[in-house]
Homo-oligomer: A and B are copies of this chain.
Amino acid sequence: MGQQITVLGAGAGGLTTTADLTIQGHDVTLFELPKFESNLEAIRSNEGIDITGAANEGHARPATVTSDPAEAVEDTDLVIQVVPNFAFEPFAEAVGPHLSEGQPFVLLSANTMSALEYRQILDDVGAPEIRLGETPSLAYAVRKTSPSSVHVLGIKRELSVAGLPAEHSSVLAEQMDDVFPFSVSAAENVLETSLFNANPVIHPVGALLNAGEIESPDDEYYLYQNVTDSIGRVMSRVDEERAEIGEALGLEVKTVGELFHDWYGIGENEYYATTTNSLRTSSIHGPIQGPDSLDHRYVTEDVPYGLVPLSEMAAACGVETPTIDSLIQLAEDVHHTDFRADGRTLDDCGIDATDRDALLRVATRSTPVSSLAEACR
């Protein structure tokens, strides 16, 4: 108890983590990039963060609120980054030079191959070898209700964390288990946490197969309530492709229905909780409104940082992913954007290996990626 913790990012997830851990009794520093200083101003004038809902409730006053990266991360016990994947670079550039050798640093809002790319970005900015880890997803289902308040719809009962290299998984899991009000266990490696993210399964399908309704001016849209049979079938196909990638990598991948059961207890009393039913009936996710357009992170983040790296992992393992590839294609058509080029590729992660074994070696590596890539040639 009472650890020195730094939370990077003052979005909904960052505020919730900051507030929850502050109330939990930790000494929390909240950092945001100088260009988003206004996010911090709101918290300063409110003298803290108001948090309601499923996590610790109350008015949380974090120890420090700062946009100075040195002040934020130096000598802290654990850094937790909670920012969208497309913001990885500016955050790594800001804090990277101020991190110290072996410092625990967890990506709490990871998507697919997040730690693998973040390690590469940190290398590029000359950061030391920290103890980097990632969880498969955010701990909280949450929405901002004002610039300084959040409402937590649900909190996961358990979460896993994988270190990069994997030898750090258990020490990170122990530390996070102490810090968080839910159970944290060690994942096999960052490929497992990459595959256990439910967002790329749920969000792009839900958004694309409801493009018309989402773009209708008068409708309010609730993605989870609209998981109809056809939408659920396509999500299940993504689930199956995800499972096939896992199988090729020797990892047992749970369906989204199973993950929602483990995380939130959804479908617990049913004999067999399908992905479709779990999503459609989730009282936690049902009230989440949106998206209100296809220019939304459900597409603009979960395609380039979710489906694209899944497709890349699959290709390296010789697994075909026709449904994932089709969703990427339609998202590209809708956005007139080359998400495959702009998104997260093996190359972005410094991995020029193109087979399953090399991918596994990189995920479990105890040597820097650069020399391993060398060895794979």
A interface with B by C-beta (< 8 Å): 206, 208-213, 215-216, 226-231, 233-234, 237, 294, 322-323, 325-327, 329-330, 333-334, 336
- Residues on B with C-beta less than 8 A from A210 are 209-213
Tell me whether B231 and A212 are in contact (CB under 8 A). yes
Distance A103 CA – B17 CA, assembled complex (angstroms):
78
Most buried by B among A227, A234, A327, A333: A333
A322 to chain B, nearest CB (A): 5
Tell me whether A329 and B334 are in contact (CB under 8 A). no
When the two chains form the complex, which single residue of B226, B227, B230, B325 contacts A326, counting CB atoms closer than 8 Å?
B325
Distance A59 CA – B233 CA, assembled complex (angstroms):
47
A339 to chain B, nearest CB (A): 13
8 cross-chain CB contacts under 8 A:
A209-B210, A211-B230, A212-B226, A215-B231, A216-B226, A230-B294, A233-B334, A325-B329
- Residues on B with C-beta less than 8 A from A333 are 233-234, 237, 323
Nearest 4 pairs of A and B residues by beta carbon: A326-B326, A215-B228, A210-B212, A212-B226
- List the B residue with the shortest CB-CB distance to A336: B233
A293 to chain B, nearest CB (A): 9
Distance A227 CA – B336 CA, assembled complex (angstroms):
17
- Residues on B with C-beta less than 8 A from A215 are 228-231
- Residues on B with C-beta less than 8 A from A216 are 226, 228
Distance A210 CA – B206 CA, assembled complex (angstroms):
10
- Residues on B with C-beta less than 8 A from A329 are 322-323, 325-326
Distance A230 CA – B204 CA, assembled complex (angstroms):
14
- Residues on B with C-beta less than 8 A from A213 are 210, 212-213, 226
A308 to chain B, nearest CB (A): 14
Most buried by B among A211, A216, A329: A211
Tell me whether B233 and A212 are in contact (CB under 8 A). no
- Residues on B with C-beta less than 8 A from A336 are 233
- Residues on B with C-beta less than 8 A from A237 are 333
Tell me whether A212 and B234 are in contact (CB under 8 A). no
- List the B residue with the shortest CB-CB distance to A210: B212
- Residues on B with C-beta less than 8 A from A228 are 211-212, 215-216
- Residues on B with C-beta less than 8 A from A334 are 230, 233-234
Most buried by B among A215, A229, A326: A326
Distance A206 CA – B211 CA, assembled complex (angstroms):
9
Distance A234 CA – B323 CA, assembled complex (angstroms):
17
Distance A36 CA – B29 CA, assembled complex (angstroms):
75
Distance A237 CA – B331 CA, assembled complex (angstroms):
12
When the two chains form the complex, which single residue of B206, B230, B327, B330 contacts A234, counting CB atoms closer than 8 Å?
B330
- List the B residue with the shortest CB-CB distance to A323: B333
- List the B residue with the shortest CB-CB distance to A223: B212
Distance A227 CA – B213 CA, assembled complex (angstroms):
10
Distance A212 CA – B213 CA, assembled complex (angstroms):
8
Task: Known pairs A212-B227, A230-B334, A323-B330; list 9 more (Cβ under 8 Å).
Answer: A209-B210, A211-B230, A211-B231, A212-B228, A213-B213, A233-B334, A234-B333, A323-B329, A323-B333
Distance A329 CA – B237 CA, assembled complex (angstroms):
11
- List the B residue with the shortest CB-CB distance to A324: B329
A312 to chain B, nearest CB (A): 17
- Residues on B with C-beta less than 8 A from A326 are 325-327, 329-330
A271 to chain B, nearest CB (A): 22
